[in-house]
Structure 1
């Protein structure tokens, strides 16, 4: 990334390049954790790893700033591992390859990890540069944020001394975030029974691939297709033809809109051509339906090996009915903030598990700025799957972050932004889970804010960060730290 080294935010890009070179998908952050610990030791920066795996780094105030209010910079270690289906990449061993694409930086057909790698890089860059003026400073780097905010849940109440927390995990330059949605997982085990396949019949794999996917919070209002939901709809439209499902799966993360899904069906060979015709027709219809939001997906059917078993007729019908009729997407918009979703759900993952008990494991993530509405939506989805004998558990509940209209750090950042860029920033809430909501339970005295550069399509291989926005983000971060009283 040599072209980026001459920009104002060159220190940030330098650290981000190092972060990209070290694999750090969720639940596999050990290599990056060790690198940061060793780097801090070489720089004589105090670094503590807590019981859950969070890192807390501490730096003394600049000369003359010793009496300033202590500040905590906060980011998370992990990145979402997503790739296109034709991309060969092992997130446990392979580095991320950043590519400069005009005004943007993206990866080579994988997630980039700008969420939250740019924020992490900026925190390390602040610690690294003794010329940047600031008061007493702590940097909190949480572990395993993307799969359930594990580090934030496990943070001890007396671990930090700061009074202001600046979260670096927002994704639109020019906006200062003062609130976020809470979330809860609806986990379903949908039982099924199976029977032997008829050896006189043939098997076919039906696949939906090439959808854009994206973040199930910030991208949920973009009208993108959910591969699991659309596959269920396609199969439902084949019900005029006698077939049975053998397997069905789709999605990989509860907080990412599913980009791909596939099913293996078994039927008599005489029906293949008619099924193929229907699927081709449905593909055309879906492309018309999503012409404004999707541009490169396919619905395909190909012959495959005959599996040993299929679902019984009752299990087949239960599966399709439960998926096809499950509510999904935007439920309500926020009246207080334009174009911000208030309540949504994402049917993110379905996997098939066989053993002593056979079931489909389904993960739905419900988000809302309103706690009561979050639980009402989750209860609605739970009741829906219980109709089909699903065993349902609501898990991983985390609170939203209620906006503080009297926030001193917001006022400081607003002044600094206007001074730097001759315009006011927007006060916003985000329809995503920021760790601030969890922090407010354990540190109710903290004055918190979240901001970041412009990052588009996180949690998908289309993820990209706007290069110039990182310059603005870096300038505002430094100016803010200096301005804190």
Structure 2
């Protein structure tokens, strides 16, 4: 399958992407891709560094005639989100991504594609390897663990880079130039409870929510997509109130930065309610499907009687607080920006809910381009979870990237884009978390910009990269490199 991708134009870009996608690279398990990148830089004969946290830096001198231009940092992250369809057999720890061409799109077989941020990495690799592309001195920065904490960017030490301009290649619309992004914080609620014996007259059921689109919890949060954890909780809430349903376990969602697509709950009800339960639940399911028919046409909710009755369940009072706290926890857009049209300012993703064996965990990712608003929403979530007796922790806090409308490199990119395409690029800030905000704390004088080819469905198995957009983007990158400002 990858050979079909290797034949696409520009071949330099797609071949490097295929090479990269052959290397397993889940977040927090980047050892193999770090070694791959170190070997790549050393074979080219360039200065190649691996810092203490795992980031890789490869330095390439300017091409002939470009020595008087400002040194640039070209930056992308090595890790990728590992999501797959429920029926896909795939091991992200050992397997390379299986790609195929579908019209104008490159896709993966039942998994995330890794175009986020693999196409950025591949772009830099192709430029490093080329002997014909004109460019100033380049410091290629490949960070680790962007998707689950941005620890690579956070751990980068000041003084390792000399570049005056940073080109971040991690946005996903080819007609946009990004000059700002949201910050984020992980909100985690945990608690323990004493399980009780399952009643003798209980009937066991498995409730499954699946078929949702999922997506990026920043870039897609405004689309009104279904959240499997919130849908599941709605079902459990109603069944608990109406029929005294008791929860044995819940397994919902997987990653903080992915809108949850699936949730499975093991539950019991008293057998006297058996028929009424099935009838009433179908009414609620139909209501939910009707509400989400436009955004989630493939939503499936099944309630199947199970022969294996769980030995223990959550006690009613603990469950009472759980379903109410989850109902209270805000999910989705919290506030739109007053300064940028159509920009989400603050949001939350109720990303992962795990309940069973006397323990529960609720994981959220709260984002905002306004630092105080980020903590305001986080404190709202904290309050709901603490009222049910949870311990709530904040981790992975990272800053947003404040827009600089007077950026010199912005003027360069805007001019080139308009010349090449006959229309102006949209200059935007995004609701995703980019590493620019963090890198700016280490290098506050660095002029930063972010752009990239069109990628759809990031953080989900529907992730796909546009072939025509990659061609447009590659042409844009090459001209940008030729027009980096002269040193002052």
TM-score of the aligned structures, taking structure 2 as reference length: 0.96
Q: 2:337 maps to what in 1?
A: 334
Residues 84, 110 of structure 1: 8 Å contact kept: yes
The superposition leaves residues 258-315 of structure 1 with CA deviations (integer Å, 9 ceiling, x where unpaired) of: 1111111112333232222222222221111011111112111122311121111111
The 3 A distance-change label for structure 1 pair 244 and 289 is same
Q: 2:249 maps to what in 1?
A: 247
Residues 7, 471 of structure 1: 8 Å contact kept: no
Residues 279, 299 of structure 1: 8 Å contact kept: no
Q: 2:258 maps to what in 1?
A: 256
Residues 203, 266 of structure 1: 8 Å contact kept: yes
Q: Distance in 2 between matches of 1:353 and 1:396?
A: 26
Residues 191, 389 of structure 1: 8 Å contact kept: no
The superposition leaves residues 347-378 of structure 1 with CA deviations (integer Å, 9 ceiling, x where unpaired) of: 10112364xxx431111111111111111111
Moved beyond 4 Å, runs of 4+: 1-8
Q: 1:80 maps to what in 2?
A: 81
Residue 41 of structure 1 aligns to a residue whose secondary structure is helix
Q: Distance in 2 between matches of 1:327 and 1:37?
A: 43
Residues 353, 359 of structure 1: 8 Å contact kept: yes
Residue 214 of structure 1 aligns to a residue whose secondary structure is coil
Aligned pairs, number: 482
Tell me whether 1:132 sits opposite 2:129 in the alignment: no
Identify the range of structure 1 (304-313 vs 261-270) with the bigger mean alpha-carbon deviation.
261-270
Residues 236, 245 of structure 2: 8 Å contact kept: no
The 3 A distance-change label for structure 1 pair 311 and 36 is same
Identify the range of structure 1 (277-286 vs 314-323) with the bigger mean alpha-carbon deviation.
277-286
The 3 A distance-change label for structure 1 pair 7 and 308 is closer
Shift, 1:336, TM fit:
2.9
Shift, 1:7, TM fit:
4.9
Residue 461 of structure 1 aligns to a residue whose secondary structure is coil
Q: Distance in 2 between matches of 1:339 and 1:99?
A: 34
Q: 1:285 maps to what in 2?
A: 287
Residue 217 of structure 1 aligns to a residue whose secondary structure is coil
Q: Distance in 2 between matches of 1:86 and 1:5?
A: 27
Q: Distance in 1 between matches of 2:6 and 2:91?
A: 28
Q: Distance in 1 between matches of 2:217 and 2:15?
A: 30
Residues 54, 143 of structure 2: 8 Å contact kept: yes
Residues 6, 18 of structure 2: 8 Å contact kept: no
Residue 184 of structure 1 aligns to a residue whose secondary structure is strand
Q: 1:47 maps to what in 2?
A: 48
- The runs of 5 or more residues in structure 2 that have no matched partner are none
Q: 1:401 maps to what in 2?
A: 401
Q: 1:378 maps to what in 2?
A: 378
Q: 2:424 maps to what in 1?
A: 424
Q: Distance in 2 between matches of 1:272 and 1:134?
A: 71
The 3 A distance-change label for structure 1 pair 264 and 353 is closer
Residue 300 of structure 1 aligns to a residue whose secondary structure is strand
Residue 92 of structure 1 aligns to a residue whose secondary structure is coil
Q: 1:453 maps to what in 2?
A: 453
Q: 2:171 maps to what in 1?
A: 170
Q: Distance in 2 between matches of 1:190 and 1:9?
A: 52
Tell me whether 1:299 sits opposite 2:301 in the alignment: yes
Q: 1:122 maps to what in 2?
A: 123
Residue 65 of structure 1 aligns to a residue whose secondary structure is coil
CA RMSD, 1 decimal: 1.3
Q: 2:321 maps to what in 1?
A: 318
Residue 32 of structure 2 aligns to a residue whose secondary structure is helix
Shift, 1:6, TM fit:
5.6
Identify the range of structure 1 (253-262 vs 69-78) with the bigger mean alpha-carbon deviation.
253-262
Residues 5, 100 of structure 2: 8 Å contact kept: no
1:272 to 263, 274, 290: 274
Q: Distance in 2 between matches of 1:339 and 1:256?
A: 21
Q: Distance in 1 between matches of 2:251 and 2:205?
A: 14
The superposition leaves residues 153-184 of structure 1 with CA deviations (integer Å, 9 ceiling, x where unpaired) of: 10001111111000000000010000000111
Q: Distance in 2 between matches of 1:256 and 1:91?
A: 16
TM-score of the aligned structures, taking structure 1 as reference length: 0.97
Residue 218 of structure 1 aligns to a residue whose secondary structure is coil
Q: Distance in 1 between matches of 2:51 and 2:221?
A: 34
The superposition leaves residues 78-130 of structure 1 with CA deviations (integer Å, 9 ceiling, x where unpaired) of: 00000111111111112211121111111111111100000000010010102
Residues 5, 18 of structure 2: 8 Å contact kept: no
Residues 353, 361 of structure 1: 8 Å contact kept: no
Q: Distance in 2 between matches of 1:27 and 1:289?
A: 37
